Amino acid sequence: MRLQCGIHQLDLSCAEFVSTPKIMGILNITPDSFSDGGRYYQANQLSLDLVLKQAEQMLAEGADIIDVGGESTRPGAAVVSEQQELDRVIPVVEALVKKLGALVSVDTSNARVIQESAASGASIINDVRALQRDGALAAAAKTGLPVCLMHMQGQPTDMQKAPAYTNVVDEVLDFLRERMAACVDAGIAKNRILLDPGFGFGKTLAHNLALLSNLKKLSALGQPLLVGLSRKSLLLQLINRQVDERLPGSLALALAAAERGAAIIRVHDVAATYDVLRVFDALKNQNS
């Protein structure tokens, strides 16, 4: 599948067929994200210079997409106002597109942020709430951009308090199927839809491992899968490592996702992930 993202095009064929997973570099322009919150602030003000420097580095290291987020969705995160999110996101999108020519996705659930991000040059809408907020679905359809729909049980404020499923794989599959249908009904073509199982969003360690083990089952929906496992708290449970010590574990998870057919892998550590995926690609081609 070739995904048209504005002026950019991504080859997102399943890993077992053609392409190596694409790398989405995480650029959280928030003061409170779990891993890099506040990193791009000086004197409590967002620094475009720091943002651009980081994005330029990620592109040089092999990132295909820069994912800009203006609202933290870590467990327990507070909701920010629409204006706060706009003030953070729009200048960054404009700068990344105009100065770096980057393919930018915007991590947002807000209808107005969707609209203004698209007008500012964003190429993908990446929504942890699967376009369920008021007006978000219509706004996304109007942009004509590809969308990524993620599964989340609950909301960031409470999603990790007591997540429960009868069968997590089947329930995530059913949810994503329903949201795909809603998008198609709203005028978003299937070839513009990406799916994300939502690792760490209303899931226990057992739920996350079940989803990763069964990632190929989610591929049965026929859409490219985006996977975000970088530095997540499941690694604290698995290997007892704090956020800044989770690179090896994150790379192991990225490789596991690639082996199971992920089309896009969303990461903090672009250079290391790039190297892992190049080795994976060489081995895959050797065996084909």
Q: How large is the angle between the packed helices 270-287 and 48-61, nearest 10 degrees?
A: 20
2 catalytic residue (yes or no): no
Of 32-36, 55-59, 62-66, 164-168, minimum mean pLDDT range: 32-36
Pairwise CA distance, residues 113 & 169, whole Å: 31
Write down the pLDDT at residue 16.
Answer: 46
How much of the chain, in percent, has pLDDT values that exceed 90? 74
Yes or no: say if 147 and 194 are a contact pair by the CB < 8 Å rule.
Answer: yes
Under 8 Å CB-to-CB from 245, ≥6 apart: which residues? none
Closest CA to 99 of 120, 85, 84, 117: 120
Residue 32: predicted pLDDT: 60
Specify the pLDDT at position 45. 83
Mean pLDDT score, 239-245: 93
pLDDT tens digits along 78-104: 778 999 999 999 999 999 999 999 999
Gap between the Cα atoms of 171 and 219, Å rounded: 14
Q: For 39-53, 137-151, 259-273, which range has the lowest pLDDT when averaged over its residues?
A: 39-53
Q: Where are the domains of the chain?
A: 2-287
Q: Are 29 and 70 in contact (CB under 8 A)?
A: yes
pLDDT digits (tens, 9 = 90+) for 105-137: 999 999 999 999 999 999 999 999 999 999 999
pLDDT-based confidence at 15, cuts 50/70/90?
very low
State the pTM of this model: 0.93
Report d(CA 59, CA 112) in Å as an integer.
Answer: 28
Percent of the chain with pLDDT over 70: 93
Q: pLDDT confidence of 18, banded at 50, 70, 90?
A: very low
| Active site (annotated) includes residue 241 | no
CATH architecture of 2-287: Alpha-Beta Barrel (3.20)
Q: Which of 232, 246, 260, 284 is catalytic?
A: 232
**In whole angstroms, what is the distance from residue 280 CA to residue 288 CA?**
12
- At residue 229's C-alpha, the angle toward residues 123 and 141, to 5°, is 25
Distance CA 64, CA 242 (A): 27
Least confident of 150-159, 198-207, 249-258: 150-159
Q: How many CB atoms lie within 10 A of CB 170?
A: 12
CA separation, residue 226 to residues 45, 195, 288 (Å): 31, 6, 24
pLDDT for 40 beyond 90: no
Catalytic residue (choose from 74, 88, 192, 266): 266
